Amino acid sequence: MALKRPFCDVDFLCPVCHDVFDHPVVLLCGHSFCRACIEQCWIASDSRQCPMCRKISDETPSLNLALENLCQAFLHRKRHLEELCEVHQEKRTLVCCDDNQLLCEICRQSEEHRNHTCRPVLEVAEEHKGVLRSELGLLREKMELMHQANLECESVALKMNYDPPNVKNQIKAGFKHLHQLLDDEEKARINELKLEMEEKLESLKNKNGMISEEIHMLTTTIKDLEKELDSGDIRIIQNFKETLMRAQCEAEDPEMTPGDLIDVAKYMGNFKHNVWQKIRRSISYTPVVLDPNTASFQLTLSEDLITVWNRNKSQEIDEKSPNNIERFADCPCVLGYVGYSTGTHTWDIDVEENSSWMVGVAVESVQRKGTNGLPTGIWCIGYDGETLSVTDPLESRVPLHGFAKPTVVRVNLDLSVGRLLFSDVLGETVYHTFTHNFTEKVYPFFYNECLHRVSILPVVESDEK
């Protein structure tokens, strides 16, 4: 009878994680793995193959109780052996603080450790457990943050699944409008061409009628003159003056006049450019558009992203909007989509109907979360229903006296000289001027606590010369 092979350490190690089996399960092929290890393997490979022999296991693997008991016994024996001194086979109950070694009582009396500081294993272990429990608490906090981040990712995914159909429909509607403008322009040009053609054909028809009448008259006169030439000498002499008078033609020589042809250059010269210019003049343009990814949950933006208003307090917050890092969480704020590092930029804001607003600029690092009041990092002008005031990062609101409530505020940002100026739309009344050397990118800033709208006004572009 063959002797059974004694167990060795490798028999208790999972082939996947190479650690002692934890809740081992056995597959139909007979190979065993940690339950977590085989589940992760199957998820990663999207197949229920055995990592060892590649055989498929359709059934849920069962717990290998025998192997689990052996592993528990192995760990118990291993821990017992670890507690014994390798030299004296006595239980190690002390820790040498100088050499950071585990000692038994005999080792403690040796020449090597006699003058060293030693402490009980239980005492040192308890201290270490305290440190590890603290680290465990930090890891659990990190895990909680990870779970929250995972929820945020799922929320963003839901938002992305929700948004594209709306954005797609808006894109289609925008192109449909452009197509309609092109169709209208095409029809207008063809109608103009048709009208010009009809007018010039009518002119040519009239001219042709007049020429036909002249031809008829000339034909009659020529026939009369030919007949007179054959009437004899006496008759020619007698009727000469009368015949000569009839023979003299007063009709002008026929000639083409300018503009008889179709003005092809008017229609086809710089055709695409001229059509684009005409359509561009019919479409409004705003120098600033709002970034919906920065808008507070309290705000609603128009589809064209140029108008913002505060949602009704009874209106529920859109749960599909994630609390992404760019979004203002606590204040009814929103930024412009494009930030500026250089140059001069101007935009006009209609605030006539609104009673609680602030407009200006914010630096890219503006505080967006955890604010009890206005975020830090803004330079703006505002109105609270009674007073016009200005705000910057260094001061609270400073009232501006002597001004009527604005209807339109013009914001003029000149980064070349570090100047931010607020005025009326004509620039005749200057409300306030900030002087600041902006060292980071700045964005148009809008704050609205009112149900009435704040809108960025379109500009009229001049034609290119």
Residue 187's identity, in one-letter code, is K
The alpha helices in 84-120, defined as continuous H runs, are 105-108
Q: Which secondary structure element, helix H or strand E, spans residue 134, and what is its range? A: helix 121-229
Strand partners, 446: 334, 359
CB atoms within 10 A of CB 179: 10
Residue 8's identity, in one-letter code, is C
Q: Whole-angstrom Cα distance, residue 430 to residue 417?
A: 18
| pLDDT of 462 above 70 | no
Sorted by sequence, the CB contacts under 8 Å of residue 445 that are 6+ apart come out as 333, 335, 336, 358, 359, 360, 361, 362, 366, 378, 380
- Whole-prediction pTM value? 0.60
* CB hemisphere CA count around 279 (13 angstroms): 19
pLDDT tens-digit series, residues 308-354: 999 865 455 554 567 788 899 888 999 999 999 999 999 999 999 89
Q: Pick the closest to residue 288 from 309, 306, 310 (CA basis).
A: 306
| pLDDT of 418 above 90 | yes
Q: Whole-angstrom Cα distance, residue 434 to residue 362?
A: 13
- The alpha carbons of the chain give a radius of gyration, in whole angstroms, of 47
- Highest averaged pLDDT of the listed ranges 104-118, 177-191, 229-243: 177-191
Per DSSP, 12 falls in state G
Which of the pair, 43 or 413, is modelled with greater confidence? 413
Residue 459's identity, in one-letter code, is V
pLDDT tens-digit series, residues 80-130: 656 667 667 677 778 888 878 888 877 777 777 777 888 888 888 888 888
pLDDT band at 79 (very low <50, low <70, confident <90, very high): low
Q: Which domains does the chain have, with CATH numbers?
A: 10-121 (3.30.40.10), 168-281 (no CATH), 292-456 (2.60.120.920)
3-state secondary structure 226-243: HHHHCCCHHHHHHCHHHH
| pLDDT of 155 above 90 | no
Per DSSP, 311 falls in state P
CB atoms within 10 A of CB 418: 13
| In contact, 465 and 367? CB cutoff 8 Å | no
Angle between helices 271-281 and 121-229 (to 10 degrees): 120
| pLDDT of 463 above 60 | no
